[in-house]
Amino acid sequence: MIFKDDYSRNFSEEKGLHDFLENIETSAQWETRPVNSLRVLTTEKEMENLLVDGDSEKEEIIKDTCHNTGLVLKIGRYKYPIGSTALQTLENRARISGSSLSALEKPMFAKVLNECLKVSRGESLIRIASGKVRAAHAGDLKDYAVLPMPELFSTASSFINGEFQETNFQSGYYDHSITTAVWTIKDEELTDTYQQILKNYGINEGGDLSAAIRVSSSDTGVSGANIYYQLRFGNRHIALGNSLKLVHRSGATVKKFAQNLTSVFSQYKQALEGLTKLLNIHINYPENVMAGMMKQVGINKKLTAYTVDKYDAVYGPDSCTAHQVYYGICECISLAAASGLSGKNLVDLEENVARCLSLKWSNYDFPGQVRY
């Protein structure tokens, strides 16, 4: 049921992910049309025109669309059900926004969109995949750049498996908004210096130390072709600062993504140096620091409180280094993943955690009751 808006799939084998992405791309298409020629219709109004006798899959697609967006996009002579991931991009093409739009009844929402689309300029690059419109990007030459998902992830696989001493495909994930893949890497040149520094400080985190690379991308506008860095101690995830991002804009190519991959080693070294510096920052009130920083970067209260409680159960409120506090904050990634968080939400959480490294620790190190 890949056409369903809430469809998602996990992959334990690298080849399985690549084959899946190839199959998706083979049946997908990109269409360029003037924005002012697009029209949004309701499934209720178009039901008879959309159903084809004997086409059970088409019928299921329409049912799923009725359950979700309830909308159809007319592109020239053809009409396509609209998937949930396309709504934001359609609103962007119509140059409208606001939470009140989602509160409108479907016929009124379609009418508002159409009136605005009629007076909008430029082209739209429309992604149609798995039976539905998945995105309606800006389509002028300076706008959205298509980075084919099969080629992107194949490039990542080839580089990672060929560049490092020992690699392992950890996991892959797909839904209609984002695709991600994670590889773990064991490379003495990459991690030995950091591991030795931890030993010098008497720190033993337990579990084998490995580096990890997460590659994420999207055809629906929610992510660029991004490369994220992590450390792994067993099941613990330690985010390592900002990702290398390639935005889907004019001039973006798979070749430029490959160039970003070649800087992975130097980026890791730089990130580990930054992590090491935290060993020399003293923290008096670690739980307040954790709560304050996690709130600042937008991590929700429930997960923050759970993470701080887990930290307190292991270390208590005693003073420590910023390094220990940051490891405590990173624990929320493992906790969230264990509770079922995945896809874009997990990627966003990792990015938010990594943003803590850019904050000033002393701004959050104060006494008093922990506030969430």
DSSP 316: T
What is the pLDDT, as a whole number, of residue 216?
95
For 244-268, what is each residue's pLDDT tens digit? Answer: 999 998 889 999 999 999 998 888 8
Strand stretches in the chain, DSSP E: 8-11, 29-34, 39-42, 71-75, 78-81, 123-129, 132-138, 166-175, 179-186, 209-217, 226-233, 236-239, 282-283, 320-321
Other beta carbons less than 10 A from residue 278's beta carbon: 17
What is the pLDDT, as a whole number, of residue 267?
86
For 18-73, what is each residue's pLDDT tens digit? Answer: 999 999 999 999 999 999 999 999 998 777 667 665 678 888 999 999 999 999 99
Beta bridge partners of 302: none
Q: How far apart are CA 71 and CA 74, in angstroms?
A: 10
What is the pLDDT, as a whole number, of residue 204?
74
pTM of the model: 0.89
Counting as low any pLDDT under 50, the low residues of the chain are: none
- Characterize 94-124 residue by residue with b for buried, 16 or more Cβ atoms within 10 angstroms of its Cβ, and e for exposed: beeeeeeeeeeebeebbebbeebbeebeebb
**3-class DSSP state of 156:** helix
Report H helices in 119-236.
149-163, 188-200
* Torsion angle (degrees, nearest 10) of CA 196, 197, 200, 203: -90
User: DSSP labels for 2-65?
Assistant: TTSTT-EEEESSHHHHHHHHHHHHHH-EEEEEEGGG-EEEEHHHHHHHH--TT-HHHHHHHHHH
* Tokens linked to 133: 């419109």
Q: Show me where the domains of the chain are located.
A: 8-138, 145-276, 281-372
Note whether 135 and 223 are within 8 A (CB). no
Span between the terminal Cα atoms of the chain, in Å: 40
**Residue 147 phi, psi (nearest 5):** -120, 100
Q: How far apart are CA 97 and CA 61, in angstroms?
A: 27
What is the pLDDT, as a whole number, of residue 210?
85
* Tokens linked to 68: 């979700």
Q: How far apart are CA 52 and CA 48, in angstroms?
A: 8
Q: How far apart are CA 107 and CA 367, in angstroms?
A: 55
Strands 8-11 and 29-34: unpaired
